[in-house]
Amino acid sequence: MALPTSRPTAAIPTGTGAALSSDQLLEIYYYLRLTRTLEERLVALYRQSKVIGGLFRSLGQEGESVATAYALERGRNKDILSPLIRNLGALLVMGAQPLEILRQYMAKAESPTHGRELNVHFNDLEKGYLGQISHLGDMIPVMAGIALTFKLRRESRVGLVYIGDGGTSTGTFHEGLNFAAVQRLPLVVIGEYNHWAYSTPPEKQFAVKDLAEKSPGYGIPAVTVDGNDVFAVYEATRFAADRARRGKGVQFIEVKTYRRKGHAEHDDQHYVPEGELDKWASENDPVDRYVQRLLSADLVDESDLKDIDDRVRDEVDQATDACVDEPLPDAESALPGVFVDPPVADKLWFKAL
């Protein structure tokens, strides 16, 4: 059967990765592998009912998540991105720890949000990530505000924000994009064309062929890249980030990719045409393609990759062991923190009876 009409095509030349050192190439591989292995661990924990709520996979989208984040300037108070549920890889690249992700999913007291929020909904603005809320599109204007601050303070920093193909249907996406364009903000917008918004295919989501057709209407240049080609995504993002850093404004990058798992772990994907998942898995897996490129161009040794696999497995094992039996938060820790002042919400009268 035929692949969807929007089969990945590279609209910009894909590089050789020559600009990246072999250490960097291996580091990118480390994050790809870490993303996948960590999610596989989460699946095991989900099946053991240790994950409290839903589990969301990024299988098939690790390449674009890792490559976009890797193209930013990272470290304390450098660039800032806002990841979506399928950007675990971006979060890890920016410095979030597997231990934090595991604790979030298991709602542990020691999780970054102390059990208040789910999965990747957490932040570290110094490391450079701002968690999403469930309402899609909302992070576009918020990240525009972050980029506005960079501009007002004359800082050489860039914001990057992700939006799914479905998310581009929201009003906040359009308002945020337009605002950022008018203000000529240093913002990179990654439009993830992953073919499914829950069960809704692109043709029921928008009447254009490519997401890249949307942003020119706001005066924002757009490019479409093969989202499963790590090098192409890296180069496009690097270009856009540099451009934004030079004060040239917003750039939209459409990454064509594929969501190989359901919306969440419960979703059996019965709406996906037969054979499509296998086809993407066997012919267009971003990690496989990256490894093939590295090995065929003789950029790294195979044994280096194997060492990274082992290291990742150990790290995920250690992180799991460190938190799986940790306690949930104390009940009354629900009350503080709605405001600075008053610092604690009222405990209601009947709790004292």
Partner 1 sequence: MAEVTFLEALRQGLWEEMERDERVFILGEDVGLYGGAFKVTEGFTKRFGESRVIDTPISEAAIVGAAAGAAHMGLRPVAEMQFIDFISCAYDMLTNYVATARYRAGLSTPMVVRGPCGGYVRGGPFHSQNPEAAFLHTPGLKIVYPATARDAKGLIKASIRDEDPVLYLEHKWLYRRIKEQLPEGEVLTPIGEARLAREGKNLSIISYGATVWKSLEAADRLAQEDGLSVEVVDLRTLLPMDDAAIVATVKKTNKVLIVHEDTRTGGIAGEIAARINEQAFEWLDGPIMRVTAHDVPLPYAPTLEDFVLPQTDDIVKAARWLAAY
- Structure-token pair, residue 264: 């969440």
If one asks whether residue 301 binds partner 1 (CB under 8 A), the answer comes out as: no
Q: How far is the CB of 83 from partner 1 (least distance, A)?
A: 16
Binding status of residue 143 toward partner 1 by CB under 8 A:
no
Nearest distance in Å: CB 202, partner 1: 10
**Segment near partner 1 (CB under 8 A); pick from 149-157, 249-257, 300-308, 339-347:** 339-347
Check residue 217 for interaction with partner 1 (CB under 8 A): no
Phi, psi of 133 (to 5 degrees): -105, 175
206 contacts partner 1 (rule: CB under 8 A)? yes
Residues for the chain: how many in total? 353
Site for partner 1 in 226-265 (CB under 8 A): none
Residue with smaller CB distance to partner 1, 276 or 315: 276
Residue 205 touching partner 1 (CB under 8 A):
yes
Helix (H), strand (E) at residue 223: strand 222-226
List the x/- string, 109-138, binding to partner 1 by CB under 8 A.
x---xxxxxx--x-----------xxxxx-
Q: With CB under 8 A as the contact rule, which of the stretches 40-48, 233-241, 306-314, 331-339 interacts with partner 1? A: 331-339
Cβ neighbours around 121 below 10 Å, total: 16
Specify the residue, 205 or 257, whose C-beta has the smaller distance to partner 1: 205
Which residue lies nearer to partner 1 by CB, 168 or 320? 168
Binding positions for partner 1, 56-95, rule CB under 8 A? none
Q: How far is the C-alpha of 290 from the C-alpha of 31, rounded, in Å?
A: 12
Is the four-CA dihedral 208, 209, 212, 216 of positive or negative sign?
negative
Nearer to partner 1, 164 or 249 (CB): 164
Task: Give the span between the Cα atoms of 13 and 305, in whole angstroms.
Answer: 26
Total interface residues for partner 1 by CB under 8 A: 48
Burial class (CB in 10 A: 0-12, 13-18, 19+), 67: buried
Q: Are 93 and 74 in contact (CB under 8 A)?
A: yes
Asked if 340 interacts with partner 1 (CB under 8 A), we say: no
Q: Say which DSSP state 202 is in.
A: G
| Amino acid of residue 129 | Y
Q: Enumerate the β-bridge partners of residue 129.
A: 81, 124
Q: Give me the 21-60 binding string for partner 1, x by CB under 8 A, dash otherwise.
A: -------------------------------xx-------
Least CB distance from residue 137 to partner 1, whole Å?
8
What is the Cα–Cα distance from 125 to 80, expressed in whole angstroms? 7
Query: Does residue 311 bind partner 1 (CB under 8 A)?
Result: no
Please state, in angstroms and rounded to a whole number, the distance separating the CA atoms of residues 41 and 32: 14
Of 59-67, 176-184, 191-199, 212-220, the segment contacting partner 1 by CB under 8 A is 191-199
Does 208 bind partner 1 (CB under 8 A)? Our answer is no
Rounded alpha-carbon distances, angstroms, from residue 231 to 18, 24, 305, 349: 10, 12, 17, 59
Task: Count CA atoms closer than 13 A to 307's CA, side-chain side.
Answer: 7
3-class SS at 231? helix
Among 21, 156, 199, 318, binds partner 1 (CB under 8 A): 199
Regarding 346 and contact with partner 1 (CB under 8 A), the answer is yes
Q: Does 349 bind partner 1 (CB under 8 A)?
A: yes
Q: Which residue has the tokens 């820790």?
A: 333
**CA dist., res. 259 & res. 185, Å (int):** 30
- Establish if 305 lies at the interface with partner 1 (CB under 8 A): no
- The residues that touch partner 1, with contacts defined as CB under 8 A, are 52-53, 107-109, 113-118, 121, 133-137, 166-167, 169-172, 197-200, 204-206, 271, 328-335, 338, 345-351, 353
